[in-house]
Amino acid sequence: MVLTNPFEYEAASSLDPERISSWFIDDHNYARFIKSRRNIIIDGDRGSGKSMILVYHALENELARAEADGVDPDLSNVGIYVPSNNPLLQRSEHKQALEGAQRDIISERYLTFTILAAIGKALKSVEDRLDDAERGTVLDELRYLMPADKLTGVASPSTYVSRYVRDALRIDQEALAKGLGFDFSFDTSSFYIHILPVLEALRNTKPFTQTHFSLLVDDAHMLEPYQQRIVNSWLGYRDHSLFSLKVAIAGFRNYDLKTTFGGNILEGHDYTAVNLYRPFQNLESEYGMFAVKVVERRLRQAGIIAKVQDFFPPSPAFVRDLDNAKKKAEALAVRRGIDPNDRKAFNDFRYKFGRAIYFRERSPRANKPQYSGFETISHLSTGVIRSLLNLCYTMYERQLSVSKKAPKLIPSDIQREIILEASDKQWEFVRGELDKSIAHCSPGDAAMIERLFRRLAEYFRQRLLHHESEPRVLVFSISAFDRVRDAELIRLLELAEEAQLLYVRSGTAKSGGGRENYYVLNRMLFPAYGLDVQGQHGRASLKAEDLLAAARHDKPFPNATALDPPLEQGELFDV
Amino acid sequence: MSNAAPTHAIVTVASWEPRWKASVEALLVENPHAMLYILYSTRYADWTAEVRRDVLAAAHDAGTEASETQIDLERPGTAWQAAVDVTVTLHAAGVTGVALDGTTMPREMTWFLLHALGELRMDVDYAYVPVGSYGDWLSKESLEPRLVLKRSGILFPDKPTCVVAMSGFDLGRLNQLVSYFEPARVEIARQIGDRYGNLGRNNPQLSENARHADIFEFDGFDLTGASHAVLKKRIEPLVPDFNVLLASLGPKLASVTAFEITEELPEVALVYIPSSSYNREYSKGEDMARRTVRRIRRRDQGERWQADLSERAGTMGASVASPSN
């Protein structure tokens, strides 16, 4: 029998309804947004679960769940999933050869047809709820909007839509492929010509009388700029009685907020921004709890009843040594005059130094620490659920190949082995693959990023071993920054972000109030340097010139043991 | 191609690599009455200036009519227009057959020219000269993958994506391609043999996005049509269910096979990953013993291609046989 790895993961759009239903952890916070009538932009890193949230709420999957649960589906808010990473939208004519009105016509036509096809797919799953008269009414409207002699005999509205889209796109693309020019005479297709009237026609049928349609536009950052502007113009449409848009993007940096009318859409007015960056400081944090739920769900579905923490147990030696280190931290606190009855100060000291002492007292000749335990795995994923599953998947595969039978747990030595291999692989990527794998990253850029990250890892190690008050700070913000002078630094950090070596977050500024960006390194980089993957509350403040000196000249960061300016107010999420 | 026909032309894109000059000189010898049409990149004009002068002088000495035109290879719309201009110019001059020197021509430009020449029903012989030895890398700083103008297939929004990649030793680009399109299915045609250290370089791990890729073996250097058949057999059944994107990341000769696949299966889209950084020291010398000239198969020619191939195999010996690895 072939054993299926319970931590298998796929792009959400490739999953069948059963898998979506069984894998998805319903977070009611997000459901509230998706089910609202507001326009929403969901912002999250690649692999953070944006697609899964949208796909889960697509009509086909809602219906499958309702059927499985034996209940009537709720059609008050119908989600229509629209993927933007389809290569049709990446065709070259509008991106590379055409300009002006011709480019705009094709660009909008492809986008409109992509949404029409999505409507057709959604319609297919519900059209048996329409009676003959209602089907006829919808078909009349479709024939009026999209006349096609070839489709005269088609009696199903969804078939009509999907065949119309396919026929029209085939004719368009064959015409564009012919000859030496780009002469074409396509009819204009737009949201107002083809989408809105179809949604209105559906609303005139009994099952959809009260329906609000949510167009779930996934990966909108993949759309070319004009298509992004079209979507933004729709976001600017204030009447939400019939439809709204839920648009998922991978960072606002990659998404243009302009409209086709030349204006900009505004948060609060035109859309509500929801970000998927979940705090992940420990297993009780939002991400920690989410990670437990995701993995636990997979274990249960594989018939494994163990708790997540028992399936991925930490090394007993690691637990013991850590406990000893915490006791030493308590003793050190007393020696430093901290009163054990002052629980806050005492616990705070132990929290900061307990783990640090474990790492400090390891012999320089000792092997790398026993990285293991679900909490460690959760931290290594840096808040990205796909990274979490990837680690669990690989560990399961390794244990399966060792034991030749379904694992009841993943031994800590296997966990450690996989973690160290994955960390080494991440560094190999940093050293040798960046300019080959990341668009716009030159060999020079790659070399600078490698130097910068190596120096950052060394800096954090110095802090861990020697810092007097904040040894386990693992994130940094940039001080003495000048947008013009330090533009190169931002470019390098953006390339690193593209490579998912780095995540940019926003938090309370260290001084002057307001917000500032801070930078979270992919924790998978840490084990190769023997670093603690669990950080503490706090941020290192690194000067822009020092970051650039590390990148350009391989210069170590000065003052790894210097004190950081305090955060003005508690920021629990930035470890 | 007839050696004396005045209705023939040699079309090439100039390069600083030594094998470019060797390739053009060989074509000049084989086609003494053909026009020579040199395209050269504006960006790398300085790198190619001296060798272009040499080649133009050699053409002049041979009594060959020669001209050169600057093109902006970084902008596909402009490069495409240059391909059209060349084709229309040759067609207007009465040219009916072209020796296309693909030795150092970027794949995208090769595809543009093959498309444009094919549209005007010109016979095309594709010539390729391998390097004597490779340096560390040819190109870096790749840009986003893009579908190729005029060869973007027939794509539908309600089909999942399948990437079929003919891989070489540079798996970074393959990973980039898979990461960009996030296809539901990945097929990798892995180059066989140990040519130029291929085995040694072809082993890096695929990214997690491609962990379920179906991998099959493929010889990008094959000229017998066997590899074409292997590829077609893999791709054809995918077409009804997937938007198929075909990328040629391995041997350049395989890019011609990719083009021919899209001649037969026009639904399939060609994908190109451009680079913006080249290594001037990438290649050393040329391997004329493994030089190849082969006829391009067009969709309106049907079985004629196989007949041409057999005929040429009989007349040109090693130059059209499958180079062994």
pLDDT (tens digit per residue) in A142-164: 999 999 999 999 999 999 999 99
Task: Indicate whether B189 and B153 sit together in one domain.
Answer: yes
Asked if the structure places residue B188 within a domain, the reply is yes
- Asked if residue B5 has pLDDT above 90, the reply is no
Alpha-carbon span A252 to A481, nearest angstrom:
21
- Lowest mean pLDDT across A9-18, A221-230, A456-465, B253-262: A9-18
Look at residue B217 in the predicted model and tell me its pLDDT.
Answer: 82
DSSP letters, A321-344, are HHHHHHHHHHHHHHHTT--TTSHH
Task: Indicate whether B74 and B191 sit together in one domain.
Answer: no
Look at residue B322 in the predicted model and tell me its pLDDT.
Answer: 32
The residue ranking higher by pLDDT, B118 or B168, is: B118
Cβ distance of B88 and A436 shorter than 8 Å: no
- Mean pLDDT on A438-459: 93
- Asked if residue A21 has pLDDT above 90, the reply is no
Residues 6+ apart with CB under 8 A from A24: A52, A56
Look at residue A163 in the predicted model and tell me its pLDDT.
Answer: 96
- Asked if residue B318 has pLDDT above 50, the reply is no
Tokens read off for A315 = 């090394």
- B241 touches A at CB < 8 Å: no
Cβ distance of A177 and B152 shorter than 8 Å: yes
Binned at pLDDT 50, 70 and 90, residue A165 comes out as: very high
- Lowest mean pLDDT across A233-237, B109-113, B214-218: B214-218
Binned at pLDDT 50, 70 and 90, residue B200 comes out as: very low
Task: Indicate whether B174 and B227 sit together in one domain.
Answer: yes
- B205 touches A at CB < 8 Å: yes
* Partners of A78 in beta bridges: A213
Tokens read off for A237 = 């449409």
- B133 touches A at CB < 8 Å: no
The residue ranking higher by pLDDT, A375 or B313, is: A375
- Lowest mean pLDDT across A128-132, A290-294, A515-519, B189-193: B189-193
- Mean pLDDT on A85-89: 93
Cβ distance of A165 and B158 shorter than 8 Å: yes
Task: Indicate whether B122 and B43 sit together in one domain.
Answer: yes
Asked if the structure places residue B192 within a domain, the reply is yes
Binned at pLDDT 50, 70 and 90, residue B141 comes out as: low
Look at residue A484 in the predicted model and tell me its pLDDT.
Answer: 87
CA-closest candidate to residue B175, choices A446, A429, A523: A429
Distance set, CA B120 to CA A364, B82, B86, B300, B304 (Å): 72, 15, 12, 11, 17
Task: Indicate whether B270 and B199 sit together in one domain.
Answer: yes
Which residues of B are less than 8 Å from A161 in CB distance?
Answer: none
Which residues of A are less than 8 Å from B158 in CB distance?
Answer: 117-118, 120-121, 162, 165-166
Asked if the structure places residue B308 within a domain, the reply is yes
Residues 6+ apart with CB under 8 A from A236: A259, A261, A263, A265, A270
**CATH number of the domain to which B167 belongs:** 3.40.50.10770
- Mean pLDDT on B268-282: 77
For A19, the 3-state DSSP assignment is helix
Chain B residue with the nearest C-alpha to that of A12: B184
- With tokens 């996030």, the residue in question is B182
Asked if the structure places residue B273 within a domain, the reply is yes
Task: Indicate whether B162 and B121 sit together in one domain.
Answer: no
- B290 touches A at CB < 8 Å: no
Ranked by mean pLDDT, which of A99-103, A143-147, A439-443, B73-77 comes out on top? A143-147
Instruction: Considering only the beta carbons, identify the residue of B76, B116, B266 that sits closest to A92.
Output: B76
CB neighbourhood size of B308 (10 A): 18
Look at residue A254 in the predicted model and tell me its pLDDT.
Answer: 77
Task: Indicate whether B202 and B239 sit together in one domain.
Answer: yes
**Beta strand pairing call for B8-13 and B97-101:** parallel
Which residues of B are less than 8 Å from A436 in CB distance?
Answer: 140, 142, 170, 172-173, 176
Q: What is the mean pLDDT of chain B?
A: 81
Q: For A118-127, what is each residue's pLDDT tens digit?
A: 999 999 989 9
Asked if the structure places residue B3 within a domain, the reply is no
DSSP summary character for residue B97: E
Cβ distance of B116 and A170 shorter than 8 Å: no
Task: Indicate whether B123 and B166 sit together in one domain.
Answer: no
Distance set, CA B39 to CA B32, B125, B132 (Å): 19, 17, 24
- Lowest mean pLDDT across A49-58, A359-368, B189-198, B312-321: B312-321
The minimum CA-CA distance between B80 and chain A, rounded to whole Å, is 8
Binned at pLDDT 50, 70 and 90, residue A391 comes out as: very high
Alpha-carbon span A565 to A535, nearest angstrom:
17
Binned at pLDDT 50, 70 and 90, residue B135 comes out as: low
Look at residue B4 in the predicted model and tell me its pLDDT.
Answer: 44
- B303 touches A at CB < 8 Å: no
- Asked if residue A532 has pLDDT above 70, the reply is yes
- Asked if residue A1 has pLDDT above 80, the reply is no
Q: How many domains does chain B have?
A: 2
Is residue B304 within 8 A of residue B294, CB to CB? The reply is no
Asked if the structure places residue B151 within a domain, the reply is yes
Cβ distance of B140 and A436 shorter than 8 Å: yes
Asked if the structure places residue B173 within a domain, the reply is yes
Q: Percent of chain A, pLDDT > 70?
A: 94
Alpha-carbon span A323 to A317, nearest angstrom:
10
Distance set, CA B267 to CA A104, B155, B167 (Å): 24, 7, 21
The residue ranking higher by pLDDT, A414 or A287, is: A414
Alpha-carbon span A413 to A419, nearest angstrom:
10
Binned at pLDDT 50, 70 and 90, residue A536 comes out as: confident
Look at residue A423 in the predicted model and tell me its pLDDT.
Answer: 96
Task: Indicate whether B252 and B144 sit together in one domain.
Answer: yes
Look at residue B147 in the predicted model and tell me its pLDDT.
Answer: 95
Q: Percent of chain A, pLDDT > 90?
A: 58
The minimum CA-CA distance between A48 and chain B, rounded to whole Å, is 15
Asked if the structure places residue B50 within a domain, the reply is yes
Tokens read off for A430 = 């940093």
Binned at pLDDT 50, 70 and 90, residue B118 comes out as: very high
- Asked if residue A221 has pLDDT above 90, the reply is yes
Which residues of A are less than 8 Å from B148 in CB distance?
Answer: 92
- Asked if residue A232 has pLDDT above 90, the reply is yes
User: Residue B206 sits in which domain range?
Assistant: 139-278
Output b/e per residue, A541-559; b: 16+ Cβ within 10 A: bbbbbbbbbbbbeeeebee
Q: For A181-215, what is each residue's pLDDT tens digit?
A: 887 777 788 888 999 999 999 999 998 999 999 99
Task: Indicate whether B129 and B157 sit together in one domain.
Answer: no
Task: Indicate whether B125 and B148 sit together in one domain.
Answer: no
Look at residue A171 in the predicted model and tell me its pLDDT.
Answer: 93
Which residues of B are less than 8 Å from A13 in CB distance?
Answer: 160, 184
Look at residue B195 in the predicted model and tell me its pLDDT.
Answer: 54
**CATH number of the domain to which B121 belongs:** 3.40.50.11700
Which residues of B are less than 8 Å from A445 in CB distance?
Answer: 141
- Mean pLDDT on A369-390: 93
β-sheet with B66-71: strand ranges across = B66-71, B35-41, B8-13, B97-101, B123-128, B292-295
Is residue B30 within 8 A of residue B3, CB to CB? The reply is yes
Amino acid letter, B259: F
Task: Indicate whether B163 and B220 sit together in one domain.
Answer: yes
Is residue A524 within 8 A of residue A430, CB to CB? The reply is no
Which residues of A are less than 8 Å from B282 in CB distance?
Answer: none
Chain A residue with the nearest C-alpha to that of B151: A177
Amino acid letter, A420: L
DSSP letters, A355-394, are HHHHHHTS-TTSPPP---SHHHHHHHTTT-HHHHHHHHHH
Alpha-carbon span B259 to A298, nearest angstrom:
44
